[in-house]
Amino acid sequence: METNLQKKRENKKSLRVKVISLGNAEVGKSCIIKRYCEKRFVAKYLATIGIDYGVTKVQVRDREMKVNIFDMAGHPFFYEVRNEFYKDSQGVILVYDVGVKESFDALDCWLSEMKQEMGSQANMESIIFVVCANKVDLTKRRVVDESEGRLWAESRGFHYFETSAQSGEGINEMFQAFFSSITDMCENGGRRPVTEVNVGFTREQADTIRRIRGSKDSWDMLGVKPGATREEVNKAYRKLAVLLHPDKCVAPGSEDAFKAVVNARTSLLKNIK
Ligand code: GTP
Ligand code: MG
């Protein structure tokens, strides 16, 4: 009787979860997992063939968690192998290389592939996502800055970590936050708690900052047609200033975006009579 009770208690405390890693080839997915599980780094690139599978046990608060890790191959060639493994995941590690812009831009495609493969089962609210901006040790070749990556992640309610599988920077912190959030979600009936990754900024602010970063000239930045009048420029400026003013907006990159908007308005007004 006592043993049954004991067993019941233990069962309540132990969790079994599935996590997957996603991201372009060579961004460092396997190395991140290896750094965490085996505490070592392999400098030679050994492409994952299809999928690698491993199990690890972790302790989160009073719970023991058995984590099944499916480390996906990033190469498009392995799409047919990968697509079987998206289903029933509680956690996703999305990785890009801070020195390769295409690997950052590809994050949206990875989310789309996942949604498509999960089909009607797709309930992104029941999955914890963590974004790893990896290879931060290679500072000289960095092309995607922290605010850009953080904005992409946090505007979607995802965790964001700067990591290096080579030095170990950010790896333990990332996995701890990841497993802790998965535990919270399981304890919350399988739904991501609403307070998860409290972003403190709106999707509109995030999208506007992203648009400003990608704008081709001052007209485009203010969202007015070339040849617009002073009034039109000022009206567009005021709208953006209210949205992005550093006193009001805490989104990563908002200060730079605000400054860029101020400069764009000044340079346009100089040339409009
Ligand atoms: P696929 O399995 O092909 O999808 O690639 P992957 O994302 O698993 O990449 P992998 O972990 O195999 O690493 C690719 C290359 O990047 C290897 O040569 C690693 O040594 C190197 N690498 C991975 N992480 C880091 C890092 O944080 N810093 C540096 N400097 N190199 C890294
Ligand atoms: Mg790999």
Model pLDDT for residues 118-171, shown as the tens digit of each residue: 887 678 889 999 999 999 999 999 999 999 999 999 888 899 999 999 999 999
* pLDDT score of 272 more than 90: no
Distance 135 CA to ligand 1 centre (A): 8
pLDDT at 89: 93
Neighbours of ion ligand 2 (CB under 5 A): 29-30, 48
pLDDT at 200: 76
pLDDT at 5: 61
Please state, in angstroms and rounded to a whole number, the distance separating the CA atoms of residues 240 and 268. Answer: 15
Question: What rounded mean pLDDT belongs to the chain?
Answer: 90
pLDDT digits (tens, 9 = 90+) for 59-117: 998 899 999 999 999 999 999 888 889 989 999 999 999 999 999 999 999 999 999 98
Distance 177 CA to ligand 2 centre (A): 22
- Residues whose beta carbon lies within 6 Å of some atom of ligand 1: 23, 25-31, 42-48, 73-75, 134-135, 137-138, 164-166
pLDDT at 48: 95
pLDDT digits (tens, 9 = 90+) for 231-250: 999 999 999 999 999 888 88
Q: How far apart, in Å, are the Cα atoms of 141 and each of 102, 145, 197, 201?
A: 14, 11, 29, 30
Atom 11 of ligand 1, residue of closest alpha carbon: 28
**In this structure, which ligand is nearest to the CA of 45?**
1
Report the atom number in ligand 1 closest to the C-alpha of 74. 4
pLDDT at 217: 95
Higher pLDDT, 7 or 172: 172
Q: Are 104 and 144 in contact (CB under 8 A)?
A: yes
Q: Give the containing element (helix H, strand E) for 207.
A: helix 203-213
Q: Are 21 and 54 in contact (CB under 8 A)?
A: no
pLDDT at 83: 87
Interface predicted TM-score (ipTM) of this complex, two decimals:
0.99
Beta-strand relationship, 63-72 and 51-60: antiparallel
Q: How far apart, in Å, are the Cα atoms of 112 and each of 46, 141, 265?
A: 26, 28, 37
pLDDT digits (tens, 9 = 90+) for 19-29: 999 999 999 99
pLDDT at 34: 97
Distance 29 CA to ligand 2 centre (A): 5
What pTM was estimated for this model as a whole? 0.81
* pLDDT score of 10 more than 60: no
Q: Model confidence at 173, in pLDDT bands (50, 70, 90)?
A: very high
Q: Are 112 and 123 in contact (CB under 8 A)?
A: no
pLDDT at 107: 97
**In this structure, which ligand is nearest to the CA of 96?**
1
Q: Are 19 and 56 in contact (CB under 8 A)?
A: no
Written as one letter, the residue type at 4 is N
Ligand 1 pocket test, pick from 20, 22, 26 with the greatest ligand atom count within 8 Å of Cβ, gives 26
* pLDDT score of 2 more than 60: no
Q: Are 17 and 119 in contact (CB under 8 A)?
A: no
Distance 45 CA to ligand 1 centre (A): 6
Please state, in angstroms and rounded to a whole number, the distance separating the CA atoms of residues 136 and 126. Answer: 29
* pLDDT score of 49 more than 70: yes
Report the atom number in ligand 1 closest to the C-alpha of 33. 11
pLDDT at 241: 93
Mean pLDDT on 201-222: 91
pLDDT at 18: 96
Report the atom number in ligand 1 closest to the C-alpha of 48. 2
Report the atom number in ligand 1 closest to the C-alpha of 164. 27
Report the atom number in ligand 1 closest to the C-alpha of 134. 27
Q: Model confidence at 204, in pLDDT bands (50, 70, 90)?
A: confident
